[in-house]
Chains A and B, each alone.
Chain A
Amino acid sequence: MFRTPDGGEIFVIDAHVHLWDGSPENQANQYGTGWINCFYDYHRNLSPREAIWPIEKFRKYTPQQMVHDLFVEGYVDIGIFQPTYLKEFFRSGFNTTEQNAVLKEMYPDRFILNGAWDPRDGERGLEYLEFLASRYHIKGVKLYTAEWRGDSKGWRLTDPWAIRYLEKCRQLGITNIHVHKGPTVWPLNKDAFDVHDVDEVATAFPDLNFIVDHCGLPRLEDFCWIATQEKNVYGGLAVVMPFVHARPRYFAEVMAELLWWVGEDRLLFGSDYAIWTPRWIIEKFMAFELPEDLREETGVDLTLAAKKKILGENAARLYGIDIAAHRARLQGDAVAAMMA
């Protein structure tokens, strides 16, 4: 819960959090090392100095640390786990639904658990998806199309097996499809960040929501175009948000574009914890205003109402959360006791 200076309360859903294990013991090869080091560079590059962690803590942090950073310090009411399995790079996986479930079980009202699938797993993966749905009642999945699997360096949402998985999601009531685009996706001679496959499946599955993490950056123009065409395409603001501190002018330009093309009803806040911690992002975002020249040129504004939608109301709608009822439930939970 974030409180505005005049006493207003803003319910915060962090739509992009992880509990990962990037420790040397869990790294399977140099790619695992390269992965966590790259994350650490992201962390150091855009965090304010006082929010930078030592590498040892960054590689593997405790569930208690996470609860503290999100809820006690960070104004967050609910965190949505977005798993990243990466079993080729990390022995027991980098950030799996099972790893995340530890915290879900401890604090059931504080976390939403998402699953993941990979069409290259074929029938076996469909069974695993059914297992995730029955065991954890997931309402969403995080798809990482750039994940390596043997000789394959990625896949597309339009692959025939991916369509079967999307049909399975529809059947199981898994309606929120988070899509991350990374730099190594087959075929390598094409633009690996291309988001056009999202366009095709968003048309084919109008009853599913497609949340494009990082708003398709660095392909903002393609993402904006697709989001304008497809009403079930959303922008996840993980990675975009921390620019509010390090590069406020660019943050303003990107937000102005997103508000104009995509609109305040289809943008979701995400810290990408533990790449960044939510406290400073939320404080700076709440204090941020669009510069006048951009407001005049684009005709959009980042109002308090828009901030409330981005910080929580939009994600609540996608995940079927009644904010008033949920807020009441949280008042008596274990985290509330920690904060008292």
Chain B
Amino acid sequence: MRVEEVYARLQQVYDPELDRPVTDLGFISGVDVDGPVVRVRFRLPTYWCSPNFAYIMAEDIRDRVRELPWVSEVQVRLEDHFAADEVNAGVATGRPFGAAFSGLADGNLEDLRWLFRLKAFLARQERLVRLLIRRGLSDDEIVAMCVADLRRLAESDAEAGDLVDRYLGICREMGLEDLPTAPAFTRENGLLLNPAQLRDVLREARRTRISMEFNAQFCQGLLRTRYGSAEPETVQPR
């Protein structure tokens, strides 16, 4: 099913602020496939959601879906948003954000993308480390782990597996070493952690994670309030 293939690609598109797939958040309101042309409609929790985040998501939707070999064109439609026209036209013509919002932006979205990747890294690392603490590992043992240890753990522990996949995914995006012998937990710049720092790192990351989760709760509730249900019209596979 081609629609299902499109949804599988959309699973890779994250809300940058909430660090969750747009499909899980209920942002995708419809997918139409017409031969090699795919039309994706999406919507956000409020009329005022930041146009920069909307643009990042619209670009990612276009790019991830276009990676399917049978797709020649992706039309992305943001609905019910104050800047929908600018976002839709900009993404359709492949213009960078700064050009689509000329005069209102003094550059493109790379810094913002980086900032949200960093936040996602901190939050995913914190969730995983807290799980390891709950599983009874000491701070010393956690800091001594390598990537291969995480992969082994993921095979035997389903809850850990999900967190490990997400954590290693963001490490790759951050350009961090993911060879089996590489240390599992470093700072965002690749610097090694020492066990005495671990609790401070967790405390800092916790605020980042709480912000994202608090906001995710708010956004999902608002989307439900606005549209009645967070479920998209088209049946979502899996």
Point out residues on A near B: beta carbons under 8 Å.
Answer: 30-31, 34-35, 37-38, 41-42, 44-46, 151, 153, 182-184, 186-193, 217-221, 224, 243, 246-247, 250, 253-254, 257, 261
Contact status of A257 and B97, CB under 8 A, knowing A41-B46, A188-B105: no
Residues of B within 8 A of A246 (CB): 221
Choose from B112, B212, B213 the contact partner of A190 (Cβ within 8 Å): B112
Point out residues on B near A: beta carbons under 8 Å.
Answer: 17, 45-52, 82, 97-98, 101, 103-109, 111-112, 115, 204, 206-208, 210-215, 217-218, 221-222, 224-226
Q: Are B46 and A38 in contact (CB under 8 A)?
A: yes
CA distance A160 to B125 in the complex (A): 40
Q: Are B214 and A218 in contact (CB under 8 A)?
A: yes
Contact status of A45 and B207, CB under 8 A, knowing A34-B47, A184-B48: no
Contact status of A44 and B207, CB under 8 A, knowing A151-B103, A190-B111, A190-B112: no
Q: Are B204 and A221 in contact (CB under 8 A)?
A: yes
Would you call the interface of chain A mostly helix, strand, loop, or mixed? Answer: helix
Please provide the 9 A-B residue pairs with the shortest distance between their CB atoms, ordered closest to farther: A221-B207, A34-B47, A218-B215, A189-B105, A220-B211, A45-B225, A183-B50, A45-B221, A188-B105
Chain A nearest CB: distance from B26 CB in Å?
A: 14
CA distance A277 to B108 in the complex (A): 41
Residues of B within 8 A of A191 (CB): 52, 112, 115
Chain B nearest CB: distance from A95 CB in Å?
A: 16
Residues of B within 8 A of A250 (CB): 210, 213-214, 217
Nearest A residue (CB) for B224: A45
Chain A nearest CB: distance from B83 CB in Å?
A: 8
Choose from B49, B82, B210, B213 the contact partner of A31 (Cβ within 8 Å): B82
Chain B nearest CB: distance from A76 CB in Å?
A: 24
Q: Are A182 and B101 in contact (CB under 8 A)?
A: no
CA distance A67 to B161 in the complex (A): 55
Residues of B within 8 A of A192 (CB): 50, 52
Q: Are A41 and B112 in contact (CB under 8 A)?
A: no
Q: Are A254 and B214 in contact (CB under 8 A)?
A: yes
Q: Are B221 and A188 in contact (CB under 8 A)?
A: no
**CB pairs A–B below 8 angstroms (11 shown):** A37-B47, A189-B106, A191-B115, A192-B52, A217-B215, A243-B217, A246-B221, A250-B210, A253-B213, A253-B214, A254-B214
Chain B nearest CB: distance from A190 CB in Å?
A: 7
Residues of B within 8 A of A31 (CB): 82
Residues of B within 8 A of A247 (CB): 214, 217
CA distance A257 to B214 in the complex (A): 12
Choose from A46, A182, A186, A224 the contact partner of B48 (Cβ within 8 Å): A182
Q: Are A189 and B52 in contact (CB under 8 A)?
A: yes
Q: Are A224 and B207 in contact (CB under 8 A)?
A: yes
- Which of A153, A183, A189 gathers the greatest number of chain B CB atoms within 10 Å? A189
Nearest A residue (CB) for B105: A189
CA distance A37 to B217 in the complex (A): 19
Q: Are B50 and A253 in contact (CB under 8 A)?
A: no
Choose from B51, B215, B226 the contact partner of A188 (Cβ within 8 Å): B51
Nearest B residue (CB) for A185: B50
Residues of A within 8 A of B106 (CB): 187, 189
Contact status of A254 and B112, CB under 8 A, knowing A44-B225, A187-B105: no
Residues of B within 8 A of A151 (CB): 103-104
Residues of B within 8 A of A218 (CB): 17, 211-212, 214-215, 218
Q: Are A153 and B104 in contact (CB under 8 A)?
A: yes
Q: Are B214 and A187 in contact (CB under 8 A)?
A: no
